Amino acid sequence: MMQGNPLVKKATGVSAFLLEGSKPPFIVVMYLLVMTTFLNQSVLNIHVGSFSLFLYRLVLIVAVILFFFHVMRERNLPQFWDQANVKGVLLFLLFWMTYGAVSLLWAKSVIEGMKSLILLGMGISFVFLAVFTFRKMNHLFLFYGIWMFMTVILMVIGLLNHFVHIQLPTSTLYGGPEYKLSYPTSVFFNQNDFATFLTISLFFFLSITRNSKQVFLKTACLFLAIICVYLIYMTDSRASLLGVMIGLIVYVFILLPVYFKRMAAIIGSTIFLLGVIVFFGKFVIFFNGLTFYSSNELLPSNVVRLNLLKNTLHFSLETFGFGVGAGNISVYLKNESIYATNQVTEVHNWLAEIMGNFGIFILLGYLTMYAYLFIKLFKLYKTRSNRNQKGLLEACMMGLIGFAVSSISPSSVSNLFFHWVFLAFVICTVSVFTGKKNQPLKENPY
């Protein structure tokens, strides 16, 4: 709550109007910020040295300045902190940022480290602003609606990419050979980034399809979900398709009655063990076959990805688990690779990227945070009977599952800001639902 009566104050200027006891205008800025994050660098791209300013980065800078100007004047930052019900998550993000800054002491390239910290700082700043701003249930639903509305726009661009063979200048396929122009990339750098985004969005549409009572809305969202799957298929992103399949399996499992859950768990475990037994020998043969490739030979993509992981693990062990320093894993892959990677210098695995740059402790912290958010969402889900709220929780849970798998598709996730937007949405949802005002009066049996 803002302190003082804004009607009797005489503050002037844009910042005073936005932040002096006037929540709605600043929330509008935050909603605008959420919308601009989906535009990536397609609308505005200003180069400042080796760094680029996109529209969402400019709006984020403005939002951060306005927020800090307000809390410095009103001295009410403790109130924002007290109302956040995800303090452990926020403290971990602050520790992550601090550790990244300290890691510059042993980083080979301080410049690359600073670039990485700027990206990390922007993502964490967005999370904090979102948690401090979106504190009501209707805020979450509007956030949800903006995500889906902007997704439809990006899907339209993706369909134009595919059918008309027109790519935006922001895509690596822009000006490329004709046979590559049909890959949908939308506003993203490449098709894998777009596929990862769509994997999250798919479950947003499916949750409305399942929980909405309006026939038109259910039908429209089901149609959009099908288009999502089609576009993911056309990107040829195997990791995202796997994320869709695993997400759907988990979704069905969550919706099953308790009795069928036990049966499904037994059957699933049995199938998994049989699969391991049947394919274990083939996997060993495949792994051993990798050694037959010479260092000068052009390697298949799956071999390159495996070698990237082996290199990253080697660098992590070499630094005693502390990581090579923020943003420096690509420097090591470029200059000190032990295993051949066809000159590929990005890890192509988000968890390995975290471990390589920041070390095993930050990776374990991230995994702990991720698991905590999912478990918390599931516990909240079991106590809810309101279909709208259950749909919100389902979207968050399945989005977490889908992203966890599909995040091995992009070359790097650190520069994909939608990851931070989604993470902020999940964290805000946990914070709002955990608040006392949003606790159910009576727990419903699951």
Give pLDDT tens digits for 254-271. Answer: 988 877 777 877 787 787
Confidence of residue 73 (pLDDT cuts 50, 70, 90): confident
Does 360 fall in a domain?
yes
Q: Which of 251, 147, 145, 239 is nearest to 191 (CA)?
A: 239
Instruction: Give SS3 for 68.
Output: helix
Does 78 fall in a domain?
yes
pLDDT digits (tens, 9 = 90+) for 283-294: 555 555 555 555
Q: Is the pLDDT of residue 325 over 80?
A: yes
Does 221 fall in a domain?
yes
Query: In total, how many domains does the chain have?
Result: 2
The pLDDT of 290-302, averaged and rounded, is 64
User: Which domain-ending residue is among 60, 83, 106?
Assistant: 83
Lowest-confidence segment of 182-196, 254-268, 421-435 by average pLDDT: 254-268
DSSP output for 426-441: HHHHHHHHHSGGGS-S
pLDDT digits (tens, 9 = 90+) for 432-446: 999 866 666 443 332
| Dist. CA 131–CA 379, nearest whole Å | 20
152 and 98 within one domain: yes
| CA angle at 420 for the pair 417 and 421, rounded to the nearest 5° | 90
Q: Is the pLDDT of residue 21 over 50?
A: no
Query: What's the confidence (pLDDT) of residue 53?
Result: 75
Residues whose CB falls within 8 Å of the CB of residue 222, separated by 6 or more in sequence, listed in order: 205, 206, 209
| Dist. CA 341–CA 434, nearest whole Å | 46
Does 444 fall in a domain?
no
Q: Residue 328 half-sphere exposure, CB side, CA atoms within 13 Å? A: 26
183 and 332 within one domain: yes
Query: What's the confidence (pLDDT) of residue 180?
Result: 87
The parent domain of residue 1 ranges over 1-83
pLDDT digits (tens, 9 = 90+) for 137-159: 999 999 999 999 999 999 999 99
Does 246 fall in a domain?
yes
Residues whose CB falls within 8 Å of the CB of residue 409, separated by 6 or more in sequence, listed in order: 192, 195, 196, 237, 238, 239, 240, 348
150 and 47 within one domain: no
pLDDT digits (tens, 9 = 90+) for 374-412: 999 999 999 988 899 999 999 999 999 999 999 999 999
User: Which domain-ending residue is among 51, 83, 115?
Assistant: 83
User: Which domain-ending residue is among 28, 57, 83?
Assistant: 83
Please give the single-letter amino acid code of residue 234. M
45 and 190 within one domain: no
